[in-house]
Amino acid sequence: MLSTRALRRVYSLRSVRVLSHPSSSYSSSPSYVPLHGSGHLRHSPTLPLLRFPGSVCRCFTSTVDRVRESSIELGGSVAPLIVEEEGEVVSYRQTSAYSAIELALNSVVKIFTVSSSPNYFLPWQNKSQRETFGSGFVIPGRRILTNAHVVADHTFVLLRKHGSPDKYRAEIQAVGHECDLAILTVESEEFWEGMHFLELGDIPFLQEAVAVVGYPQGGDNISVTKGVVSRVEPTQYVHGATQLMAIQIDAAINPGNSGGPAIMGDKVAGVAFQNLSGAENIGYIIPVPVIKHFIAGVEESGKYVGFCSLGLSCQPTENAQLREHFRMSPEMTGVLISKVNPLSDAYKVLKKDDIVLAFDGVPIANDGTVHFRNRERITFDHLVSMKKPNETVILRVLRDGIEQEFSVTLQPLQPLVPVHQFDKLPSYYIFAGLVFVPLTQPYLHEYGEDWYNSSPRRLCERALRELPKKAGEQLVILSQILMDDINAGYERLSELQVKKVNGVEIENLKDLCKLVEGCSEERVRFDLDEERVVVLDYRRAKVATARILRRHRIASPMSTDLSDSVKVDPTVNVASSS
């Protein structure tokens, strides 16, 4: 049902007469169509094609009463009309899809973000601030949904409504960088006037049409781009470096589109978030199940809770000889476990060379996929990622030719080397000009777009492949040396992992900091990777630290996360150094 408020003039229609129809198959002669009830146009044999979305006809009013609110309905289906009264045409090209887009225009906002990212080579300072923009839309609860990368490392965020020149301050309620989603709130009551929320729909089928609404580059006004669904499958989320379900469409998603809704019918089918580099008209949207999982976690816990993982690395069992070796019967299907994360609950019950046959009652094929819908298949990791933290699942496993079942509690798992560090300052510790940091992928990204080839190979391999053995474990490296007399001769030892301090193995940067600050020996010794060693006179190194900090205008020898938990010598800071 469409309100005739959308017309340039609102009439109480008594009858209309069909003048023309765009379809060549329509050949009925002009005839009057009576209205039933109070201003409602019912379906009539003289309007057989108006039931189809996108059809356009030309009509005129035979009688016009006083202006009042009315509505037009065609057999339960809304049709587009061009109403003509006394020779003047009032355009009204409206379909149910068009109505949904009109509603979306009152829900979509442009987001202006000022951000400043950390400098991981110089972790005590930030890079220059930059201004970016994206899109977002209203969801129930007076909240704005957008992409995490639109507001990553933000310092200031403003929103602007469609058709308004005013901007409003926004605050970040929750951010999920793995799923590239964020929730914003606005305190201003004025902002919410005339705003409508959009409802979440379902995953569209292949070849279904969607319309992406947002503010892409190339202009300042809102934009609507249409496309069809090409593919639905787990995809690498560029921002969070996570593999989650995504929908591929043939509509162009450009910078600025990010965070805007993809509309199907009158509901949201997903959130635009990335495109395929080097390809034309291949864009991706975040599907509703991922969105709902993110929102539900925030509503239940008040913060982002993450996406669960089994902690397994698996190999397909498509080779018949491989299946025979592991005593799989012809009707059995599953995947071979090659590695188990020591921090996962699965580590307690599963082991290398187990065959996972089913996940929570869903059979797993030899290629690692499960049935999705119709004839579509999807990797079983999707089933895992849609579970809530602390949820228990049943795994059917083949071990040594015997089928067994194990209960596993799912949890989000963090890698040894974090893949992102958005919205937080990097940790660092400086002693005698030696700069110690935990290895992160953002640190490696400082080597440029081709960081995989240009960063230190040993560090890169560890970042991508090593698993943590204990909770809180970090890979601490000597990132660089701020040159001084105290450290001369050690300048070639940068980019090496630190393993021990005075013979004690370290688990993370906090361990290293505590051991150095609490040192009671005459000298401090650092054992590095490749059997390298650094030895410094402790008292001289303490004095040199203050001198080096002052020379490089560094306010503190350590990041705030360390200074809050480690007792620091008050003589080692810029203010007290003379």
Burial (Cβ within 10 Å: 0-12, 13-18, ≥19) of residue 13? buried
Pair (543, 441) in one structural domain = yes
Domain finish residue from 271, 302, 333: 302
Domain assignment of residue 424, yes or no: no
Domain CATH code at residue 518: 3.20.190.20
Pair (103, 149) in one structural domain = yes
Q: Say which of 55, 70, 107, 149 is annotated catalytic.
A: 149
Helical (H) or strand (E) element with 101: helix 96-105
Domain assignment of residue 134, yes or no: yes
Question: Which token pair is 339?
Answer: 């590695």
Query: Residue 314: beta bridge partners?
Result: 337
Using the structure block, give the residue that is written with the tokens 């080579």. Answer: 121
Q: Where are the beta strands (DSSP E) in 98-177?
A: 108-115, 130-139, 143-146, 154-161, 167-169, 171-176
Domain assignment of residue 296, yes or no: yes
Q: Which of 255, 267, 210, 259 is nearest to 108 (CA)?
A: 259
Residue 419 sits at φ, ψ, to 5 deg, of: -85, -20
Pair (23, 11) in one structural domain = yes
Domain assignment of residue 293, yes or no: yes
Question: What's the confidence (pLDDT) of residue 75?
Answer: 35
Domain assignment of residue 77, yes or no: yes
Domain CATH code at residue 322: 2.30.42.10
Q: Three-state SS for 447?
A: coil
Domain finish residue from 94, 119, 152: 94
**Do residues 178 and 307 touch, judged by C-beta distance below 8 A?**
yes
Pair (357, 214) in one structural domain = no
**Do residues 362 and 380 touch, judged by C-beta distance below 8 A?**
yes
Q: Which amino acid would we find at residue 206?
A: L
pLDDT, tens digit only, all 578 positions of the chain: 333 333 333 333 333 433 333 333 333 333 334 333 333 333 333 333 333 333 333 333 333 333 223 333 333 333 334 343 344 433 333 445 566 677 778 899 999 999 999 999 999 999 999 999 999 999 999 999 999 999 999 999 999 999 899 999 999 999 999 999 999 999 999 999 989 999 999 999 999 999 999 999 888 989 998 999 999 999 999 998 899 999 999 988 888 999 999 999 889 999 999 998 877 789 999 999 999 999 999 999 888 999 999 999 999 999 999 999 999 999 999 999 999 999 999 999 999 999 999 999 999 999 999 999 888 999 999 999 999 999 999 999 999 999 999 999 999 998 899 988 898 899 999 999 999 999 999 999 999 989 989 999 889 988 888 888 888 999 999 999 999 999 999 999 999 999 999 999 999 999 999 999 999 999 999 999 999 999 999 999 999 999 999 999 999 999 999 987 776 665 555 434 33
Question: Distance between CA atoms of 422 and 175, rounded to whole angstroms?
Answer: 10
Domain, as residue range, for 366: 312-409
Pair (257, 188) in one structural domain = yes
Domain assignment of residue 420, yes or no: no
CA angle 206, 207, 209 (to 5 degrees): 115
Question: Distance between CA atoms of 493 and 434, rounded to whole angstroms?
Answer: 10
**Do residues 283 and 275 touch, judged by C-beta distance below 8 A?**
yes
Domain CATH code at residue 271: 2.40.10.120
Question: Distance between CA atoms of 405 and 393, rounded to whole angstroms?
Answer: 10
Task: Give the total number of structural domains in the chain.
Answer: 4
Query: Residue 200: beta bridge partners?
Result: 268
Question: What's the confidence (pLDDT) of residue 449?
Answer: 86
Using the structure block, give the residue that is written with the tokens 């199940």. Answer: 289
Known active-site residue 177: no
Question: What's the confidence (pLDDT) of residue 218?
Answer: 86
**Do residues 181 and 286 touch, judged by C-beta distance below 8 A?**
yes
Pair (262, 243) in one structural domain = yes
Pair (127, 173) in one structural domain = yes
Domain assignment of residue 572, yes or no: no
Q: Say which of 115, 258, 385, 427 is annotated catalytic.
A: 258
Known active-site residue 529: no
Domain finish residue from 250, 273, 302: 302
Q: Say which of 153, 180, 345, 381 is annotated catalytic.
A: 180
Question: What's the confidence (pLDDT) of residue 277?
Answer: 82
**Do residues 178 and 244 touch, judged by C-beta distance below 8 A?**
yes
Pair (70, 109) in one structural domain = no
* CB neighbourhood size of 131 (10 A): 9
**Do residues 125 and 153 touch, judged by C-beta distance below 8 A?**
no
**Do residues 491 and 472 touch, judged by C-beta distance below 8 A?**
no
Domain assignment of residue 141, yes or no: yes
Pair (119, 192) in one structural domain = yes
Pair (155, 255) in one structural domain = yes
Burial (Cβ within 10 Å: 0-12, 13-18, ≥19) of residue 109? buried
CA angle 393, 398, 404 (to 5 degrees): 55
Known active-site residue 149: yes
Longest CA–CA span in the chain (Å) reads: 105
Burial (Cβ within 10 Å: 0-12, 13-18, ≥19) of residue 263? buried
Question: What's the confidence (pLDDT) of residue 131?
Answer: 94
Residue 469 sits at φ, ψ, to 5 deg, of: -100, -25
Question: What's the confidence (pLDDT) of residue 289?
Answer: 96
Q: Using CA of residue 71, residue 72, residue 75, residue 77, what is the dihedral sign?
A: negative
Q: Which of 277, 281, 569 is nearest to 449 (CA)?
A: 277
**Do residues 91 and 98 touch, judged by C-beta distance below 8 A?**
no
Q: How many helices (H) and strands (E) does the chain have?
A: 12, 36
Pair (117, 100) in one structural domain = yes
Pair (337, 482) in one structural domain = no
